[in-house]
Amino acid sequence: MIHAMILAAGRSRRMGAQKLLLPLGDRTVIARIVDEVLRSPVDRVFAIVGPEGNGVIEAISNKCVDFVTNPDIQGEMLSSVRCGLCAMPDDCTAVLVVLGDQPGIAADVIALLVRAFQTSGRGIVVPIHGGRRGHPLLMSMHYRDEILNCYQDVGLRGLLHAHPEDVSEVEVAAPDVIEDMDVPEDYERAVSLYKKKLEKNSNR
């Protein structure tokens, strides 16, 4: 079984507001991401939230998502990944790590990653665009204990560097896999890209 963990525990300090609750079209950023992950070929979805994550929980409480709390209020991304790995059920063979602030991610991109994992024989699958690696990252639970005990200073990049022979790169046409939202300018760009996608779809 392939399960997804959506990292939604950040405090959005540089944004000046909880970025996951910002509107994007008719939904919040986090709701849009959750909907795309639920449409993808993963078997179960977990959201990793912070100890002050009630707003995020409320925004997606009507969706088929399991919640896991990262108690470390100052925790970086790796601490949330570790919380998610510890919460994965025994039937989980691979986990998809999804950023909660990557609103352009689409179910069909996740499907490409899942297909590559199932057919490549590699234990780590990462999307690339323009020569840059991005997210979501799909990895075998074989690496669970290694991630729980290593890479404190470098995060999941350390896993990729430690096992280059087990990495499958999937070329993705859209730049969404390398774009996230940290500052207001990033959010403005995400809104602009969303509007352009709507216009493109309406003209088909």
| DSSP calls for 107-120 | HHHHHHHHHHHHHH
- Who wins on pLDDT, 200 or 118? 118
pLDDT confidence bin for 11, thresholds 50/70/90: confident
Residue 159: both structure tokens together: 């896993």
Instruction: Please check whether residue 85 is in contact with residue 153, taking contact to mean a CB–CB distance below 8 angstroms.
Output: no
Q: Tell me how far apart the alpha carbons of residues 41 and 48 are, in angstroms, rounded to a whole number.
A: 20
Q: Which domains does the chain have, with CATH numbers?
A: 2-202 (3.90.550.10)
User: Which amino acid is located at 184 in the chain?
Assistant: P
Residue 79, number of CB atoms within 10 A of its CB = 18
pLDDT confidence bin for 73, thresholds 50/70/90: confident
Residue with tokens 């989980």: 92
pLDDT digits (tens, 9 = 90+) for 12-38: 778 878 899 999 989 999 999 999 999
pTM of the model: 0.94
Q: What are phi and psi of 131, to 5 degrees?
A: 80, 0
Residue 34: both structure tokens together: 């959750």
Question: For all residues of the chain together, what is the average pLDDT?
Answer: 93
